[in-house]
Amino acid sequence: MQQPQNGQQQQEEQPDEMERDLAEDAVWKRIQQNTFTRWANEHLKTVGKTIANLETDLSDGLRLIALVEVLSGRRLPKHNKKPTFRSQKLENVSVALKFLEEDEGIKIVNIGEFLNCNKY
C-alpha cells in the first residue's frame, strides 16, 4: 500500500479541521443565543413576555421594545402594537434602535460602518 505524500496528507486533514472549527462555532453560537435569551427573559418576565426564538420573536420589534423599556425604565415613543406588515415591523425595530442611540447614547454599529472603516 502506498503512503500518502506529505501534501496529500495535509489536504486530507484540512477538511477535518475545518469541520471541527465549524462545529465549535455552531456550539459557541448556540451557547451565546441561549445565554442572551435567558438574560432577556429574566428582564422580560417583569412585563409578562418571553422570547423562545431570537430570530423570530424579535422580528416584529415588540419584544425588543419591551426589553428596551424594561432596561431603560422609560416608555418608548408611539409604535405599532399589532404589526402585520413588514414595514410596520421595521418601524418598530427602528423605534427601539433609534431610542437606544438618541436617548440612551448607545451607538448602533452596522456592517456599513465596518466597510467604510468608520470609527465608532
Rounded to an integer, what distance in angstroms lies between the CA atom of residue 116 and that of residue 20? 33
CA distances for 62 relative to 10, 45, 68, 93, 107, angstroms: 51, 14, 10, 8, 21
Q: What is the pTM of this model?
A: 0.73
Q: Topology of domain 19-117, per CATH?
A: Actin-binding Protein, T-fimbrin; domain 1 (1.10.418)
DSSP 78: P
Q: Where are the domains of the chain?
A: 19-117
How sure is the predictor about 15, in pLDDT bands with cuts at 50, 70 and 90?
confident
Q: Is-contact 83 62, C-beta < 8 A?
A: yes
Q: What per-residue confidence (pLDDT) applies to 7?
A: 54
pLDDT given at position 20: 77
Per-residue model confidence as pLDDT tens digits over 50-89? 999 988 999 999 999 999 999 999 999 899 999 999 999 9
Task: For residue 17, give Cα distances in angstroms to 3, 31, 35, 75.
Answer: 21, 21, 27, 49
